[in-house]
Amino acid sequence: MNQNDPGIDSRLSDHFGRSIIFALSFIITVVSVSLAGGLPFFIAIVILGFMYFDVAKNYARAARDMRRLDSVARSPLYSIYGETIAGAPILRAFGASSKFMRDMLRCVDTNTNPNYWQWGVNRWLSTRFDVLSATTVGLTGVITVATPSISASLAGFALSFVGGITFTLLVLVRRVVGLEQAMVALERIKEYSELQREPAEYIEPRPPASWPEHGVIKCENLVIRYAPELPNVLHNLNFEILPGEKVGILGRTGSGKSTLALSFFRFVEATEGRITVDDLDISTVGLSDLRSKLTIIPQDPTILSGTLRSTLDVFDEYEDTEIFEALRRVHLIPSDAADEVVEDEDDAINANVFRNLESPVSEGGENFSTGEKQLLCMARAILKRSKVLVMDEATASVDYATDELIGKTIRQEFANSTILTIAHRLRTVIDYDRVMLLDQGKIVEFDRPTVLLSDSSSQFYGLCEATGESEFAMLKRLAGL
């Protein structure tokens, strides 16, 4: 077993029990020898006690440092190990296996060092204690010889007890230091046990199965901050989004767009105010219910490993034809492609992977580009037919042509759903029903793009104008001006 293993079950109780046993044994020895030998023995023990204490203090400090070094050296080892396993095909493709092997061995060496020196420190302690103990036994011998009043039996008793003190003290110090180290694990568990719990998964009464029926979103005096000691990120937002409305959210980086999107899913809780969806306060809805009813397509979608089918149809609810239809609508397969499951391996080599629902999806969807992952999320949203869809720069990683196609798909497929899109491209939201412009957590403009574009003093006008003459003209045309 690793000497530094901080396991509470395995080491803490053992260290604790043995520390008590050896402490009691030490106290009994000191008391017995002092009673038997009188004041000279007691004084000698006190002086030597200080010397033992000094050695033990140094040992504890060195052991603590070794442990800290061990933890520090362990993280790079774990991270290089994880990265190598995850990127093994890429490393092999670039012939970098031996470089990573060397790096790994260097990390292993660095991590082994503190363990090696921990043993060195243990030997240092043993040597010091052996020297001190030899001195103690020698001194006891001298005192017994120099004190004629001590009987032979008492002298023998004192000498035999003092002889055992070395071992007792050595084990006591090691056990106390081990106990101190094991306490770190206890400290961590205490810290975790005091963490605030996530809100409940389900809250009774649960929302009706048909919720949200219309997709009306209302924010009333919404204030959000990430932690009590941090400043507010969103300040007193008040707005209402009507059923089926398409709203684009714009704003410079750090203006609070993502925070607003996250707040609909209670990834961050409202500090003040409330959000209602179809008149139901979302803080009264359990997290599982809330997150299964609304759909988000995040900036960097996370996809679990499995097959294309399990990615798109997590709960096995849809027919293959429905899944293919969704893939067609997000243009991952051509719209004229027949539904098919490519079984033959030779055929599969050149086939579009999205035409085979058994195509493997690696951990985190690593075998797909970010754009493809976003399109897969969108296909999932189409299957779910969510009434409320939030997209966080969902089309930022796809080219213009695909972006436009997706835009068309969204308008067709989610015509009756409320959509909030955080967009970097003005083209994406120019034909939306309304655009919301955020600045430092406040809504500065919230109106139809045509209205804002007609007002040359609006910030939205400024943003569009800054895209350049031809793009500005195009935006105006797209907005219907």
Binding site for ligand ATP (CB under 6 A): 226, 230, 233, 251, 253-259
For residue 168, give the nearest of 375, 318, 23 by alpha carbon: 23
Q: How many CB atoms lie within 10 A of CB 409?
A: 19
* Cβ at position 218, least distance to ligand ATP in Å: 20
* Cβ at position 1, least distance to ligand ATP in Å: 39
According to DSSP, residue 117 is labeled H
Measured from the CB atom, the residue of 29 and 263 that comes closer to ligand ATP is 263
For residue 425, give the nearest of 435, 415, 433 by alpha carbon: 435
Measured from the CB atom, the residue of 25 and 232 that comes closer to ligand ATP is 232
Identify the residue whose tokens are 């797209």: 478
Q: How many CB atoms lie within 10 A of CB 274?
A: 14
Q: How many CB atoms lie within 10 A of CB 439?
A: 15
Measured from the CB atom, the residue of 14 and 439 that comes closer to ligand ATP is 439
* Cβ at position 268, least distance to ligand ATP in Å: 8
* Cβ at position 446, least distance to ligand ATP in Å: 16
Residue 217: φ, ψ to 5°: -115, 130
* Cβ at position 289, least distance to ligand ATP in Å: 24
Measured from the CB atom, the residue of 29 and 258 that comes closer to ligand ATP is 258
Measured from the CB atom, the residue of 230 and 401 that comes closer to ligand ATP is 230
Measured from the CB atom, the residue of 140 and 395 that comes closer to ligand ATP is 395
Q: Are 463 and 277 in contact (CB under 8 A)?
A: no
Two structure tokens written together for 296: 């988000």
Measured from the CB atom, the residue of 233 and 429 that comes closer to ligand ATP is 233
Two structure tokens written together for 330: 């997000």
Q: How many CB atoms lie within 10 A of CB 310?
A: 15
* Cβ at position 299, least distance to ligand ATP in Å: 7
User: Which of left, alpha, beta for 42 (phi over 0: left; psi -120 to 50: alpha)?
Assistant: alpha
Report helix, strand or coil for 37: helix
* Cβ at position 439, least distance to ligand ATP in Å: 10
In sequence order, what are the beta bridge partners of 136?
none
Q: Provide the residue type at 217 as one letter.
A: I
* Cβ at position 397, least distance to ligand ATP in Å: 14
Q: How many angstroms separate the CA atoms of 174 and 359, rounded? A: 56
Q: Are 376 and 301 in contact (CB under 8 A)?
A: yes
Measured from the CB atom, the residue of 256 and 365 that comes closer to ligand ATP is 256
Max alpha carbon distance in the chain (Å)? 117
* Cβ at position 121, least distance to ligand ATP in Å: 41
Q: How many CB atoms lie within 10 A of CB 59?
A: 22
For residue 249, give the nearest of 82, 392, 118 by alpha carbon: 392
Q: Angle CA(452)–CA(455)–CA(458) in degrees, nearest 5?
A: 70
According to DSSP, residue 390 is labeled E
Q: How many angstroms separate the CA atoms of 242 and 433, rounded? A: 10
Measured from the CB atom, the residue of 259 and 417 that comes closer to ligand ATP is 259
Measured from the CB atom, the residue of 255 and 359 that comes closer to ligand ATP is 255
User: Which of left, alpha, beta for 278 (phi over 0: left; psi -120 to 50: alpha)?
Assistant: left
Measured from the CB atom, the residue of 62 and 268 that comes closer to ligand ATP is 268
* Cβ at position 256, least distance to ligand ATP in Å: 4
Element (H, E) at 240: strand 234-241
Residue 392: φ, ψ to 5°: -100, 100
* Cβ at position 390, least distance to ligand ATP in Å: 12
Q: How many CB atoms lie within 10 A of CB 315?
A: 7
